[in-house]
Structure 1
Amino acid sequence: MGKSQKKRSMRRHNPVRVPDSHLPKGLASANATSEKRDNVLPVMQKLESAEASDRVWACAAVCNLIQNDPSTRRLFQGKNIVKALITRLSDSVDEVVVEAAGALRNLCLDAGHELCAEMYNKNILPPLTACITKAPQVSTALDVYLKEPKRTFGPSERMVMHLSESIITILASLAETSNKTLTAVNNLTLVPFLMSFLQARQKLPIATVTASAQCLFILSDDNEPAIEALRTASEYVTTLIQIAHSPDPQTPASNGVNGKSKKAAEATTEESQPVDSERKIALQILSCGILRNISPLPSIIPFSAVDLDEKVLLPRLSPLLSISLPAEAARVIATISETPTSPANQQQFKNALKTDHKTPQERELDLIEQKLKNVQLALEILTGVCAALPDPSAVTEEAANDPDVDLDDVEDNDVASVDEMDVQAEPIAEATNPEAKGSLSRLSSLLSALALPLLSLCHPTPLSFPPLDSPSPHPPTTSLLGTIHIRACECLSNIFLSLASQGGGSLTPEDLQAARDIWTQFWLVLSAIGTQGGPGQETRGELWVAAVGVLWGIARLCKGSLEASEEQIQVIIAFCNSTADEQVKVKCIGTLECIAQTPTAIEANKIVSSYLVQCLSAPAPQAEPLLQTVSALIDIYSDEESPYDINFRQNGWLDSLQNAQDSVRKAVKGIDRRKEGGLDLRARGDEILLNLRGFIKYRRALRL
């Protein structure tokens, strides 16, 4: 089993999206639950109006009507809003293009990857590309402005920035949708375009610069074309280092406004200043993430000799973990209670661009949301920093497919004794060289510095999940809080798994005691999470999955010295039985295995092993959990002199293992080596089957 790092095939959770997978499918249910259903048809009609002002109004109205309202958004989707807005990207009136791009951007953020795939299938990329490359919309206008230092940043430039931000956000969302859409975005060769915003950050609105950095962060995540484009341009790397390493990023104090328009925009700048301050922090975080994605840095960069994690990322990101989520949730609730309720004022959409002026309550909610986004983003990067697992030795395809290596044909008398073989499914690598010891020391420091802040971020607030019988009072905050809890759990999990893999036996007694203390405190977190299911509670389930990774990491690190209560054991067993995810089952079984190896916990050993033996005879068992179960039982009872070995002898579990051989053999034979990970799993299955035969032979010979 590996660390909790994301892969390209597992799309990153959209922190802005309001989850709606729990809603009933179909337009009838959306029509029944939407309070704005009567506005949908008039908006769709005005999108086709001959009057440009009507088309502008309609595009802007879409943004307003779908905000935090998945039912209305689905009604628009049923009217083919995506195709209608894509058509408007080629409108002859620039204001219509800007508003259409903004509406598509909001649809991306609100509806997630399925709608992004729909946009791609409906050919959104050609008009987006045209917006970037053709005057007067982005590149040309931007180039003219940047080459004229005294040029006034007026309404047309602000319109270009609005359009740029929307287009960049759409492209970032497409890049995360699937490998097919990522390839299409790669073909646009966006890195120079995006880096131009970061390089000119002193002159441009921070919101647009941050959107560019967000897109670069996504594109540089395990994506070789973008990584290569960034690494081979030393000026790009230098810019990223300047932003990430500077205590005060060079961002525009006047939000990209100067000259004649400065006075007119002072009110807007003052209103957005707190949010812009948080966006500057986001820009630093994103630059850190991009640098980590493209590391190691080119040797021609003097900064390449610096330990990026130790000297830049941790000092920049760790302070963000001190945020009090309960306090921020309370601020949201208090702000909502102060927000005046009034009917929607459609007149606001008459202007070419939406007004930037917001109520104090809206500005407060924007500020909190941006702060939470920063924490979520920092945790996402720290998840990688906290993972230091060595790559397992890969099994070559030639060996895995060699028919002569099929261990089903090995005779029992060819099997080594249990004393001569490794019966542990996942041996912990010994930290025997200076590099490994240095890594262990670094991980120990991470445990001391990050464990308690991360533990605090795992703990849910009253706003972390929607109420069981009603929507969240503020869905964006609820979505962000849930994501933060999950990411914090993943960071904790990686720290403990990495420590165990690097040689947990070399840790100080103080470190091991700290891990056991966190085990105790983490169960309080699990109690607060609760087990409520049903529509709208999907994030709670995802959090439990991440939480099991924490339990497994601590258990592996503290194997042989971890005491768990019967109630805790039963909770893990219940979760293992309730999930259909093979990897989650493996983690549950692995956690139970480690608990069962505490010499003084004879009763806990009996409860765990009884459950594992039951799993051996489960109908149609999943291959990987079954192999983990067999490996666990062999590992637990590999030492017949252990105090808890009495359970093995008194309950006749040797016979149970003997009887399970056929089902284990069938499970191993049934592993599809053509699937991802199939080669390694088959090799591991063959090894465990060999170990099982040797273990049975050895225990029979003891005659205990």
Structure 2
Amino acid sequence: MGKSQKKRQMRRHNPMRVPDSHLPKGLEAAASSSSRKDAILPILQKMESVDPAERKWACVAVSNLIQNDPSTRRLLQGKNVVGALINRLSDSEEEVVVEATGSLRNLCIDGGFDICAEMYNKNILTPLKSFIPKISTTLSQYLENPKTAPENAQKHVYEFADNVITILWCLSETSNKAMNAINQVSLVPFLMSFLASRNKLPISTVTAAAQCLYVLTDENPPAIEEVRSNAPYSACILSMVQSREGVIGAKGKHKDVADDRSLTLQVLCCGILRNISPIPPPSMAATVDVDRDIVMPTLEPVLSLIELPKASQLAQEQIAKEDAIPALEKLSLKHTPKSDHKTPSELELERLEHKLRTVQLALEILTGVCATLPDPDFDVRNADGEAAEGEEEEANEDMDDEPDVDMALDDESGARPRRESNTTFFQTLVAPLLALVQPTPLSFPPLDGPSPHPPTTSALSAIHVSALECLNNIFLSLRGAKVDALRTDAASGRSVWDTVWRALSAVGTDVSKPGQERRRATWEIGVGVLWGVAEVWKGLLVPDEAHVKVLIELCNAATDEGVKVKCVGTLECLAQHPDSVDANRAIATYLLSLLPPSPAMPTPREPLLQAVSALVDIYSDETLPYDTNFRQGRFLDALVASVEGVRKAVRGIDRKKERELRVRGEEVRDNLVAFIEYRRSLGV
């Protein structure tokens, strides 16, 4: 059972703001579903006009056309709008360049990795690199003598900087090739200059710089080392968090409701500090326990920043208001569009989305924290205040028989032993996380079409997935640390179990249709949470027939071996409830069906090993009431028949390429043979 780790391709703060996977592939399909296809050709023509006003108009029009419209975005992309906009980055008119970067920025955010990859392949980095020294020089002049520049000129430069930084942030998450190229740009000093001058700059621009730095320091050694080795950099970031500006108060109220970006900035700084830890002396940050003293106190309140059902209801109200507004006149040169022109309902939806994304970002960072908790000095107390202790080292020894998984603690954070144990960790994290996994009416697109407001749906579903990843890591850690105090509270285990099932049931099992990828991801991660909960309270959860049926169906339908392993592991735990004889029989019969030689299609190796291990564990104690199933069902004969097939599967695992899996397979094989001999010796 593996912990949810933050991989680069999955770390996108905003992977695709307006998903388009529900649309059929091809330009013809995009054209047929776009209501604005007739406007595309005039826009592309005007982008090459000799009149700078027309070129500017065309760049702004692109941003307006793609807003929440994936089919038009696809159609524009097919007409090489990316190449046309990149050409405008070298335009002789500054306003055209600014608007072109704004449109490229919006394409990055709305369109995700594919568009970012296209931009990289079309050499967008060359003009972007040339902008960085120009922005630095201009900003230095404005900061030194703010009265020398008109307010409009300053606003112009700040927006331009925001656009350039956001594009670089998005490109950084496109591929390792793009990241390596960006590492050559030496962005860290440029970004840190915005953070250092944060009190003199618009917070949106500072936040964009922090977001880019957060991504750059994510498992990217060159950037990590540059920030880590520069003491003023880490001290600046630490002071931004410790200032507590914009942090939620004790009652969950934000001190500055009008500007939620200040809180986002705090959260980003927490993420940067985690990325660069451990921080060496002489930085003042070297003396701080980042997780205990910075991350947890800052991020725990963020989990309660907004109630998702209320957020969904508010979004629906604003969507209804927006739908009631008459359609705007078609774009024309006489009425030049403005990229910042938004209706009150659009602005409210943007503010709501920003809050949701802040919660998602906090969850993303906490996923890493939860992968390291509890540590050897960590206590979890039950309701009576009774402490339970578990040594991580002993737990790891007991977990050697798990499938090909690295069970070592994630040491990327460089977390040092806590000076004080967080005895309320379970209560303070699990309860709000369970609330965040519950779907709302807007959490997923309808099964028969797109969401009424894709950005809100994307943010809500991302929160559910991220909250499940945190829970997955929490319960895996608790299971590994053998927190016996939790096991004595069976009611809590049942409550958590039922709450997670309620969320998954609300998601539904129809996850195979295009556009429903987030539903599928919710199930794939959710079953990992179920396994962790079932492990912590193994033998105490009464299996429900409907739950068993869904887990079996999911295991059969899954194409990912990891999901199959999670399903088998969860079923194994449910089968060990002593008095549930019928459920035990149903589960064991299914697990036996996965063993050779019975399956029509051979079971993949890791699920096969998990099924064999599960059967051995379930029936290792012949005194339990459900052992009657083993004897009456002649399960021993089935296991004997499977031995040669298991041996063959283990021999097929390459010792050099998959060493851990091979060791795991040999252990399972030997345990199976020893178990058969033991059961035979019983003579029952």
TM over 0.5: yes
1:139 aligns with 2:136: yes
1:524 to 499, 502, 506: 502
CA distance in 2, matches of 1:316, 1:81: 42
Query: Match of 1:703?
Result: 683
The letter for the 1-side match of 2:303 is L
1:338 to 321, 334, 338: 321
Query: Match of 2:102?
Result: 102
2:663 to 669, 683, 698: 683
Q: How many residues align?
A: 642
2:425 to 439, 442, 446: 446
Q: Displacement of 1:319 after TM fit?
A: 1.5
Query: Match of 1:413?
Result: none
Give 1:295-694 correspondences, 5 Å limit.
Answer: 295-322=277-304, 323-339=306-322, 340-347=325-332, 354=338, 356-388=340-372, 425-426=401-402, 445-505=424-484, 507=486, 509-510=488-489, 512-533=490-511, 534-616=513-595, 617-618=598-599, 619-672=601-654, 678-694=658-674
The letter for the 2-side match of 1:550 is V
The letter for the 2-side match of 1:311 is D
Deviation by residue 1:631-656 (Cα, 9 ceiling, x = unmatched) = 11111122222322221121111221
Query: Match of 2:384?
Result: none
What are structure 1's unaligned runs of at least 5 residues? Answer: 251-272, 392-420
Query: Match of 2:386?
Result: none
What are structure 2's unaligned runs of at least 5 residues? Answer: 248-254, 376-396, 410-414
The letter for the 2-side match of 1:692 is L
Contact 1:559 1:595 in 2 (8 A): yes
Compare 354-363 and 93-102 and name the one that shifted more: 354-363
2:168 to 168, 171, 184: 171
Deviation by residue 1:215-266 (Cα, 9 ceiling, x = unmatched) = 111111111111111111111111111111222169xxxxxxxxxxxxxxxx
CA distance in 2, matches of 1:126, 1:695: 65
Residues 671 and 10 (structure 1), Cα distance of their counterparts in 2 relative to 1, 3 Å cut? farther
CA distance in 2, matches of 1:281, 1:287: 10
Q: Displacement of 1:446 after TM fit?
A: 2.1
CA distance in 2, matches of 1:622, 1:441: 45
CA distance in 1, matches of 2:508, 2:299: 29
Residues 215 and 153 (structure 1), Cα distance of their counterparts in 2 relative to 1, 3 Å cut? farther
- The alignment partner of 1:660 has SS state of helix
Q: Displacement of 1:423 after TM fit?
A: 10
CA distance in 1, matches of 2:572, 2:636: 17
Query: Match of 2:380?
Result: none
Residues 106 and 674 (structure 1), Cα distance of their counterparts in 2 relative to 1, 3 Å cut? farther
Deviation by residue 1:290-340 (Cα, 9 ceiling, x = unmatched) = 111111222323343333222222221112222211111111111122221
Residues 378 and 167 (structure 1), Cα distance of their counterparts in 2 relative to 1, 3 Å cut? same
Contact 1:17 1:476 in 2 (8 A): yes
Q: Displacement of 1:8 after TM fit?
A: 2.9
Contact 1:596 1:608 in 2 (8 A): yes
Q: Displacement of 1:89 after TM fit?
A: 1.0
Deviation by residue 1:380-412 (Cα, 9 ceiling, x = unmatched) = 111111122799xxxxxxxxxxxxxxxxxxxxx
Q: Displacement of 1:441 after TM fit?
A: 9.6
- The alignment partner of 1:188 has SS state of coil
1:199 aligns with 2:184: no
The letter for the 2-side match of 1:313 is V
Residues 571 and 703 (structure 1), Cα distance of their counterparts in 2 relative to 1, 3 Å cut? same
CA distance in 2, matches of 1:440, 1:454: 26
Residues 26 and 315 (structure 1), Cα distance of their counterparts in 2 relative to 1, 3 Å cut? same
Q: Displacement of 1:345 after TM fit?
A: 5.0
CA distance in 2, matches of 1:280, 1:349: 39
TM-score when normalising by structure 1: 0.86
CA distance in 1, matches of 2:265, 2:450: 32
Query: Match of 1:266?
Result: none
CA distance in 2, matches of 1:530, 1:233: 50
Deviation by residue 1:116-150 (Cα, 9 ceiling, x = unmatched) = 111111111111111113x3xx1221122223254
Contact 2:374 2:478 in 1 (8 A): no
CA distance in 1, matches of 2:189, 2:399: 53
Query: Match of 1:255?
Result: none
Residues 10 and 469 (structure 1), Cα distance of their counterparts in 2 relative to 1, 3 Å cut? closer
Give 1:48-87 correspondences, 5 Å limit.
Answer: 48-87=48-87
The letter for the 1-side match of 2:510 is Q
- The alignment partner of 2:448 has SS state of coil
Query: Match of 1:111?
Result: 111
Compare 376-385 and 154-163 and name the one that shifted more: 154-163
Q: Displacement of 1:196 after TM fit?
A: 0.7
1:294 aligns with 2:276: yes
Contact 2:373 2:474 in 1 (8 A): no
CA distance in 2, matches of 1:529, 1:478: 13
Query: Match of 2:7?
Result: 7
Q: Displacement of 1:151 after TM fit?
A: 4.0
Deviation by residue 1:638-687 (Cα, 9 ceiling, x = unmatched) = 22223222211211112212211222223223334565xx2211221122
Residues 423 and 128 (structure 1), Cα distance of their counterparts in 2 relative to 1, 3 Å cut? closer
Contact 2:507 2:519 in 1 (8 A): yes
- The alignment partner of 2:210 has SS state of helix
CA distance in 2, matches of 1:349, 1:596: 72
TM-score when normalising by structure 2: 0.89
Compare 309-318 and 83-92 and name the one that shifted more: 309-318
CA distance in 1, matches of 2:283, 2:6: 28
Query: Match of 1:183?
Result: 180
Contact 1:27 1:74 in 2 (8 A): yes
Contact 2:214 2:271 in 1 (8 A): yes
Aligned-CA RMSD value: 2.8
Contact 1:457 1:485 in 2 (8 A): yes
Query: Match of 1:45?
Result: 45
CA distance in 2, matches of 1:195, 1:492: 33
CA distance in 2, matches of 1:457, 1:629: 32
